[in-house]
Amino acid sequence: MLTVENLVKKYGKFKALDGLSFHIDEGHIYGFVGPNGAGKTTTIKIIAGLLKPTSGRVMVDGIDISANPRGVKSKIGYMPDFFGVYDDLKVSEYMDFYAGVYGIEKSRARKITDELLELVDLSDKRDAYVDTLSRGMKQRLCLARSLIHDPKFLILDEPASGLDPRARVEMKEILKELRSMGKTILISSHILPELSEICNSIGIIEKGRMVISGTVEEIMRKISRNRTIRIKVQGDIEPALRFLQEQPELDNVSASSDYIEADYDGNPDTLVRILRGMVKNDIPVISFSEVEGNLESIFMHVTGGVAANED
């Protein structure tokens, strides 16, 4: 659905994008992640036809955006990170306005508006003025607006930013619904966990370059060298701690009041050998498990902890 090839965007001497390439398959939800200032919004604006790249190519559904920008725009629904609304319009009028912009007839626009407001759970706000809506409701309205012309491809720039936890959950549910409708979605965020449940694949961008891109499983595999085990023992943890520190395959062995954690090389045989050794040495192991790798840890690993400083 989307192919980005060697995208470069320069502002004077500053390179916002430096040969960025990635691909999104049809029907996939792609998490586009990176710390603030990494080039996410610049990339998204180029894909949405709002910025011209210095060089490189963007293809949406087989159409080159520089050759046929209007053709591409009809296939894209775009929700920016910051957006305004027309204060003096009611919700239904707001939707009708954008339906008109896409050339949708009034009668059809009314029907589509009803369906989309139901999708984003704003049916009861149909006659409310847009400026009376909460931030979360405005986000959902903007999402409904981006769907008014039934685009195949959705670009959502930080859709959950500034939302309270409840609104985030609601947004996530809507995105799952859109996924089931077969939409291809590009979601940007600088916080990975909020994408982990819904994305098929992710790309991590830093300083205008794609650091890593692929399905979640692929990426987990690629960086599996940094897996962690968590061990609980009964009673005194000192003998267990001493034993684990002596093992050459383990790094960063640390103890908290309840458990011990250690990094290992990702080889399952290592786990088997360590557990067997602990049992042989009469260490009373209660639990021995791998800490589940999550996208946040991948992100921190890949970007070298930049995100932590940004947040």
Partner 1 sequence: MRINPVMEKELKVKMRGWKAPALITSYLGFLGLVVWMVFVSNNYLSRYYAPSFNPRVALSAYNVLAILQFCLLMFIIPPMTGGAVSGERERQTLDLLLCTNFHPLSIVLGKMSATVAHAMLLITASLPIMGTVFLFGGIRLRDLLLLMAFYLVTALFVASMGIFYSTVFRRSTVAIIMSYLTLGALSVGTFVFMAMYYVFRHSLYGTQFTYGEVMLFLTPNPIYAFSMMLENSDMGFILLDIFFGIRRIGMAQGSGMVNIKPWAANMIFNTLAAMVFILLASWRIRIVKKPLLKKRGRL
Report the alpha-carbon distance of residue 244 to residue 215 in Å, rounded.
Answer: 33
15 vs 75 by CB, closer to partner 1: 75
| Residue 96 C-beta: closest distance to partner 1, Å | 8
| Residue 150 C-beta: closest distance to partner 1, Å | 13
Place of tokens 């980005």: 4
CB 159 within 8 A of CB 176: no
35 vs 77 by CB, closer to partner 1: 77
Helix/strand/coil for 261: strand
| Residue 74 C-beta: closest distance to partner 1, Å | 5
70 vs 166 by CB, closer to partner 1: 70
| Residue 107 C-beta: closest distance to partner 1, Å | 11
The token pair at 59 is 């293809």
Report the alpha-carbon distance of residue 299 to residue 204 in Å, rounded.
Answer: 7
CB 28 within 8 A of CB 184: yes
Cα separation values, 179 from 161, 170, 191, Å: 20, 14, 20
110 vs 232 by CB, closer to partner 1: 110
76 vs 260 by CB, closer to partner 1: 76
Binding site for partner 1 (CB under 8 A): 45, 48-52, 70-71, 73-74, 76, 78, 80, 82-86, 88-89, 93, 97-103, 105-106, 142, 145, 149
| Residue 127 C-beta: closest distance to partner 1, Å | 14
108 vs 221 by CB, closer to partner 1: 108
122 vs 241 by CB, closer to partner 1: 122
| Residue 262 C-beta: closest distance to partner 1, Å | 49
Report the alpha-carbon distance of residue 257 to residue 50 in Å, rounded.
Answer: 53
> Which residues, in sequence order, are CB contacts of 40 under 8 Å at separation 6+?
32, 33, 34, 157, 188, 190, 205
Q: Measure CA of the first residue to CA of the last residue in the chain; give whole Å.
A: 32
Pairing of strands 2-11, 260-264: unpaired
| Residue 126 C-beta: closest distance to partner 1, Å | 16
CB 258 within 8 A of CB 286: no
